């Protein structure tokens, strides 16, 4: 059951971290472990659900190791060894990788507890309403609790409020209201399919154009199944998929119609809870990364990959980068400069994932890639290298890379 953390809010702290998702908890843990007085607030009590595919790709594993919670996560997660890519004409390739699935209700609770163990104070349900300003500088925040409105002073405020832009708008850092993607997911319990769906399955198809459908096997006979549209900044490259025109429920039904395992999963299983949709913010776009006294991190800063919609790992990574900047950046301009430089260093990779979302808009490219990967162990190794982040995605995701695929 979700429990409020009702400790009274302090009048001031070193760092106020708003949002206790992967980005906020990773940031709070890193700062608290270094001796900073950290107040971590979230509008929801924990454990709380977050609409997500729950897939942990290799960058998540690396971040969880850095945070010292990898063993705890893996003790609860379903271990997975492959991403199964399924192309429109039925071609299939299994790309090996360090993978797992754990519902966000459990994952985020582990992360928030790790931040508390490191010394961060968690306060929930507490909603960020607006920054406190001294001229242009953010010097704290106005927070709403069940008991009223409180003002908390802070040397730094870190905004880790995810893809919904309300908090970023209030903080004066939002640059775009429309998300870069939207997706719908549900949980289905179906014990009979446990031995049959053992990979992260992703299907591209013209009927899902602009995105893809997925089935990710979670623990205890439960599967995360969904469909969504990513990396389009509100509009498909061909202009056909304005975000508001997409009916996610129809896309989800098309996925179940097209993909036999999805159909069987739904027909023989029990839906747990409701099918729910949520926005994504990708490619490090959509918000300023900082303003005096405030850093924006995780999906609030667009830290989700456009092509795949994966963002848990990069949320934790950017949260830790924000913490490192506060710890080592020196004076205020130094902190902002270090943080922005560290995000800028990640930007080329995000841009390549943005380019790779050609596949979502031109699903025939998935036929080509899958066909070539089935024939060439070298190409399959490259795909696995991109997933593991040991290879430059440019060799696969650029037009040049795709053209080369045809002749290698």
Ligand X SMILES: Cc1cc2nc3c(=O)[nH]c(=O)nc-3n(C[C@H](O)[C@H](O)[C@H](O)COP(=O)(O)OP(=O)(O)OC[C@H]3O[C@@H](n4cnc5c(N)ncnc54)[C@H](O)[C@@H]3O)c2cc1C
Interface positions, 374-403, toward ligand X (CB under 6 A): none
161 binds ligand X (CB under 6 A): yes
Beta bridge partners of 367: none
Cβ closest to ligand X, residue 299 vs residue 354 = 299
Per CB under 6 A, the list member of 13, 17, 21, 208 interacting with ligand X is 21
Whose structure tokens read 């990959």?
305
Stretch that binds ligand X, among 35-43, 63-71, 248-256, 392-400 (CB under 6 A): 35-43
Using the rule CB under 6 A, is 53 a contact of ligand X? yes
Told to check if 118 binds ligand X by CB under 6 A, we report: no
Residues pairing with 13 in the sheet: 154
- Torsion, Cα of 384, 79, 114, 342 (10° steps): 10
Position 227 contacts ligand X (CB under 6 A): no
Q: In the block, which residue shows the tokens 């949260």?
A: 319
Question: What distances in angstroms separate CA 288 from CA 57, 84, 262, 270, 285, one per listed residue?
Answer: 27, 36, 39, 43, 8
Does residue 317 belong to the site contacting ligand X (CB under 6 A)?
Answer: no
Give the whole-angstrom CA distance, residue 153 versus residue 138: 9
Asked whether position 315 contacts ligand X by CB under 6 A, the answer is: yes
Residues 125-144 that bind ligand X (CB under 6 A): 127-128
Contact 72, 34 (CB under 8 A): no
The residue whose two tokens read 């959509």 is 286
Q: Does 55 bind ligand X (CB under 6 A)?
A: yes
By CB under 6 A, name the one of 9, 15, 17, 18 that touches ligand X: 18
- Residue number with CB closer to ligand X (276 or 404): 276
* Residue from the set 12, 51, 130, 337 that interacts with ligand X by CB under 6 A: 51
Site string for ligand X, 276-295 (x = CB under 6 A): --x-x---------------
- Burial (0-12, 13-18, 19+ Cβ within 10 Å), 71: exposed
C-beta closer to ligand X: residue 139 or 316 = 316
The reply to whether 100 sits near ligand X by the rule CB under 6 A is: no
Q: Does 231 engage in binding with ligand X (CB under 6 A)?
A: no
Provide the minimum distance between the beta carbon of 179 and ligand X in the complex, in angstroms, as a whole number: 9
Report the alpha-carbon distance of residue 41 to residue 19 in Å, rounded: 6
Q: Tell me the pairing of strands 127-134 and 78-86.
A: unpaired
Of these, 226, 293, 329, 401, which contacts ligand X (CB under 6 A)? 226
| Residue (of 344, 353, 283, 385) closest to 58 by Cα position | 385
Nearer to ligand X, 161 or 232 (CB): 161
What do you get for the CA distance between the two ends of the chain, in Å? 55
Residue 228 in the binding site for ligand X (CB under 6 A): yes
List 167, 193, 246, 296, residue binding ligand X (CB under 6 A): 167
Alpha helices (H) in 79-223, listed in sequence order: 104-117, 166-170
Binding status of residue 162 toward ligand X by CB under 6 A: yes
Sequence-distant (6+) residues with CB within 8 A of 186 are 224, 225, 226, 252, 271, 272, 273, 274, 275, 276
Q: Given the rule CB under 6 A, which of 38-46, 231-239, 325-333, 392-400 is the region that contacts ligand X?
A: 38-46
State the residues that interact with ligand X by CB under 6 A. Answer: 18-24, 41-44, 50-55, 60, 127-128, 160-163, 167, 183, 185, 226, 228, 278, 280, 298-299, 304, 309-313, 315
């Amino acid at each position: 059951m979700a429990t409020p953390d009702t400790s009274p809010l302090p009048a001031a702290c070193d760092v106020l971290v708003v949002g206790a998702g992967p980005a906020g908890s990773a940031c709070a843990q890193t700062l608290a472990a270094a001796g900073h007085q950290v107040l971590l607030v979230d509008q929801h009590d924990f454990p709380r659900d977050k609409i997500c595919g729950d897939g942990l790709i290799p960058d998540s594993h690396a971040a969880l190791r850095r945070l010292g919670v990898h063993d705890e996560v893996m003790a609860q997660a379903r271990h997975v060894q492959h991403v199964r890519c399924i192309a429109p004409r039925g071609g299939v390739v299994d790309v090996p990788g360090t993978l797992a699935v754990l519902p966000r209700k459990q994952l985020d609770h582990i992360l928030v507890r790790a931040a508390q163990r490191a010394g961060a104070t968690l306060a929930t349900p507490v909603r960020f309403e607006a920054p406190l300003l001294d001229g242009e500088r953010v010097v704290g925040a106005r927070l709403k609790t069940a008991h009223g409105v409180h003002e908390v002073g802070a040397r730094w405020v870190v905004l880790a409020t995810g893809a919904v832009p309300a908090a970023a708008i209030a903080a004066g850092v939002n640059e775009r209201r429309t998300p870069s993607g939207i997706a719908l997911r549900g949980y289905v319990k179906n014990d009979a399919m446990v031995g049959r769906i053992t990979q992260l399955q992703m299907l591209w198809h013209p009927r899902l154009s602009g995105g893809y459908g997925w089935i990710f096997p979670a623990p205890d006979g439960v599967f995360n199944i969904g469909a969504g549209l990513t990396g389009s900044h509100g509009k498909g490259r061909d202009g056909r998929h304005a975000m508001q025109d997409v009916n996610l429920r129809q896309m989800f039904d098309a996925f179940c119609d097209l993909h036999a395992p999805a159909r069987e999963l739904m027909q023989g299983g029990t839906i747990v809870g409701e099918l729910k949709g949520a926005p994504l913010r990708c490619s490090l776009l959509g918000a300023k990364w900082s303003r005096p006294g405030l850093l924006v991190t995780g999906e609030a800063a667009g830290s989700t990959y456009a092509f795949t919609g994966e963002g848990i790992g990069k949320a934790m990574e950017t949260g830790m980068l924000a913490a490192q900047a506060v710890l080592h950046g020196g004076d205020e301009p130094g902190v902002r400069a270090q943080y922005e430089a560290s995000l800028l260093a990640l930007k080329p990779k995000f841009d390549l994932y943005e380019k790779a979302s050609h596949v979502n808009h031109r699903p025939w490219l998935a036929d080509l890639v899958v066909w070539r990967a089935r024939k060439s162990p070298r190409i399959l190794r490259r795909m696995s290298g991109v997933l593991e982040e040991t290879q430059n995605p440019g060799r696969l995701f650029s037009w040049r890379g795709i053209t080369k695929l045809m002749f290698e």
